[in-house]
Amino acid sequence: MTATLTDRYVLAMLRGVPGRQRPDLERELRASIADAIDDRLRDGADAGSAEAQVLAELGDPARLAARYTDRPLHLIGPELYLDYVRVLKALLSAVLPLLFVAAGIVRFLDGAPIGRVVGDAVVAVLVAAMHIAFWVTAVFAVVGRSPALREKVRTKWDVSALPTYRIDLVGLIGGAVVTALLACLLVLSQTVGPLTGAAGEPIGVIAPALWESGALYLGIFFAAARIGFDLLGHYVGWGMPQAVANAVLTVLFLVPVIWLTTGGLLLNDAFFAALGWPRAVISNVLVIALALMGLADTAEGFRRALRRRPTTTTSEGL
């Protein structure tokens, strides 16, 4: 027996429907198609064209099956898209700067030149960005196809969720400029400083062994990463992930610097001897100043996060 157009259409539609729903949907769809064909026959259309026109108006059977079963035909739907973007931005802006610094430290400790350090760190960041984007997208795609999970994750917005914004471009630009100037002055003090030795060579503030090892370039690497992190946090948004990343970044910088300073490996004895200043006192002052600056910067990061943190309620709390 040759299958009619209606039979073929219903069969195609039922392929996208769970087995337990098929009998009821088949009866409903066949009745709907038959009623629409009868209406066209009463208007004078022939049976063949009436059936074809009705089925054409119903559209793609796979799309109809998705509509019947409430199955989304998109990867990330409008209900979750904004939450998806927020999570993706938070992870990328918080994780990538830390990974950039960590990868740079590892490659530097392996003895790689500074160019290779930066290149490998950039590659690590790009690979991590692709992984983060893939897995966040995969998780939200799964959540979007589970009604129970979708209701738990979806954020309900009201006016209390409005964050308090204070755009401080002057502070942002000023901080970046100061960081860049300090890095430049540190390099210049080692090469064209005002103090010179007996042979006319410049006496820098950093111990020669540390300078010759290339560790100072790692400090410049940190400075560049910090400027990028601040700019990224400003334009992407500053929340608790950024505050935590800022604290970790500060610790990664301060711990080795303080360790080098207290161990007498950071500052150049000859520099302070030429000035007549006690290096031990300067080292203690530097350690205290660095610790206070690190604590202040970390506290400011969490203060910004708490100030800008929106008060949101989920569907479970409504």
Which of 49, 51, 37 shows the shortest CA–CA distance to 9?
51
Taking the C-alpha atoms of residue 291 and residue 280, their distance in angstroms, rounded to an integer, is 17
Q: Between these two residues, 188 and 268, which has the higher pLDDT value?
A: 268
Query: Residue 64 has what pLDDT?
Result: 84
Give the best-scoring range by mean pLDDT among 24-38, 74-88, 225-239: 24-38
155 has pLDDT over 70? no
**Which band of pLDDT confidence, cut at 50, 70 and 90, is reported for residue 130?**
very high
Average pLDDT over residues 87-115: 81
Largest CA distance in the chain: 112
Query: Residue 317 has what pLDDT?
Result: 36
Query: Residue 313 has what pLDDT?
Result: 38
Backbone angles phi, psi at 59, to 5 degrees: 85, -170
Average pLDDT over residues 95-100: 84
Query: Residue 316 has what pLDDT?
Result: 39
Sequence-separated contacts (24+) of 312-318 with Cβ below 8 Å: 312/155, 312/156, 312/157, 312/160, 312/161, 313/155, 313/156, 313/158, 313/160, 313/161, 314/152, 314/153, 314/154, 314/155, 314/156, 315/151, 315/152, 315/154, 315/156, 316/151, 316/152, 317/156, 318/156
Angle between helices 47-58 and 22-42 (to 10 degrees): 130
Span of 114-128, 222-236, 247-261 with lowest mean pLDDT: 222-236
DSSP conformational letter for 105: H
Averaged pLDDT of the chain: 77
Angle between helices 215-236 and 169-191 (to 10 degrees): 170
Query: Residue 193 has what pLDDT?
Result: 62
Taking the C-alpha atoms of residue 190 and residue 183, their distance in angstroms, rounded to an integer, is 11
pLDDT above 70 covers what percent of the chain?
Answer: 78
Span of 135-139, 235-239, 250-254 with lowest mean pLDDT: 235-239
Q: Between these two residues, 53 and 2, which has the higher pLDDT value?
A: 53
225 has pLDDT over 50? yes
Structure confidence by residue, pLDDT tens digits, 264-315: 877 777 777 777 778 788 888 888 988 898 898 888 888 877 776 544 433 3
Query: Residue 149 has what pLDDT?
Result: 67
